[in-house]
Amino acid sequence: MTASVLMKVENLSKHYKMGEVTVKALQNASFEIYKGEFVVILGPSGSGKSTLLNILGGMDKPTEGKVLLREQEVTKFSEKQLTKYRRDQIGFVFQFYNLMANLTAKENVELATEICKEPLNIDDVLRDVGLDERKNHFPSQLSGGEQQRVAIARAVAKNPLLLLCDEPTGALDYKTGIAILSLLSKINKEYKKTIMVITHNAPIAQMADRVIKMRSGKVVDNQINENQIDPERIEW
């Protein structure tokens, strides 16, 4: 059975005016993401990765081109529709965890799920990310890796169609980063969530189903990874 297309990106461009200069942050990016894929968007700083993520996540609008999620043209959505899209369809995981300091781990996750249509069971998700015994702790009582687990639980518990992760290991040491990549792999397989990880860290691409490489605002390569390895075997 052929996997269905979840997201289609067509000729996506984003240009910014900086005085008299036009910065082409993204240029004619086109690709498809299939349901259940683990995708890595790989490129150096300034390659357009974050601009792409912001548009795919409904946080910014392109200068030209289209983004379609399940045939809905996201790039034509009104602000109200984009808010609903970010709330119901997309889960976000950032480099810095963006947790509410005055809420416990469980309360941080609950806050995100209160406005969603079909959230997952919070206790189940916290258990699956390894926080069952830490769920009543505040962020200041948690390590960086544990805080990132809370952020992942918060995104997953919303039950989104697509999980967008922007440098999710960027603020973590190597050992903790590998643990977070292993967790994302587990979420991909066990929850059957489509995951996109944006990173400059080339070895992370070894665990992906699909690797999309960017340079100078352009997609320069889009390949299925035939030789995937487990996150535990990644070294950098």
Task: Tell me, yes or no, whether 65 and 10 share the same domain.
Answer: yes
Task: Tell me, yes or no, whether 66 and 166 share the same domain.
Answer: yes
Distance, in Å, from the CA atom of 234 to the CA atom of 181, rounded to the nearest integer, reads: 10
Question: Under the phi-then-psi rule, with left for phi > 0, alpha for psi from -120 to 50, and beta for the rest, what region is 207?
Answer: alpha
Q: Which residue has the tokens 């969603």?
A: 116
Of 110, 133, 160, the last residue of a domain is: 160
Nearest-CA neighbor of 146 among 194, 109, 201? Answer: 109
* Domain coverage including residue 79: 1-89+161-236
Burial of 58 per CB tally in 10 Å (0-12, 13-18, 19+): buried
Asked if 215 and 47 touch (Cβ cutoff 8 Å), the reply is: yes
Would you state the pLDDT for residue 3?
76
pTM for the predicted model, two decimal places: 0.92
| pLDDT by residue, tens only, the chain of 236 residues | 457 999 999 999 999 988 899 999 999 999 999 999 999 999 999 999 999 999 999 999 999 999 999 989 999 999 999 999 999 999 999 888 899 999 999 999 999 999 888 999 999 999 999 999 999 999 999 999 999 999 999 999 999 999 999 999 988 999 999 999 999 999 999 999 999 999 999 999 999 999 999 999 999 999 999 999 999 999 98
Task: Tell me, yes or no, whether 35 and 70 share the same domain.
Answer: yes
Using alpha carbons only, give the angle 200, 203, 209 rounded to the nearest 5 degrees: 95
- Number of domains forming the structure of the chain: 2
Q: Which residue has the tokens 């995708």?
A: 39
Of 160, 179, 202, the last residue of a domain is: 160
Would you state the pLDDT for residue 109?
96
Task: Tell me, yes or no, whether 51 and 129 share the same domain.
Answer: no
Please report, to the nearest 10 degrees, the dihedral formed by the alpha carbons of residues 44, 50, 56, 60 taken in order.
Answer: -150
Task: Tell me, yes or no, whether 6 and 83 share the same domain.
Answer: yes
Task: Tell me, yes or no, whether 99 and 138 share the same domain.
Answer: yes
Task: Tell me, yes or no, whether 147 and 234 share the same domain.
Answer: no
Would you state the pLDDT for residue 1?
42
Task: Tell me, yes or no, whether 4 and 63 share the same domain.
Answer: yes
Distance, in Å, from the CA atom of 191 to the CA atom of 194, rounded to the nearest integer, reads: 9
Strands (E), the chain: 5-18, 21-34, 38-42, 64-69, 72-73, 90-93, 162-166, 194-199, 210-215, 218-224
Question: For residue 166, what is the domain's CATH number?
Answer: 3.40.50.300
Task: Tell me, yes or no, whether 42 and 155 share the same domain.
Answer: no
What phi and psi values does residue 163 have, to the nearest 5 degrees?
A: -105, 120
Helix (H/G/I), strand (E/B), else coil: 150: helix
Task: Tell me, yes or no, whether 73 and 170 share the same domain.
Answer: yes
Of 160, 178, 212, the last residue of a domain is: 160
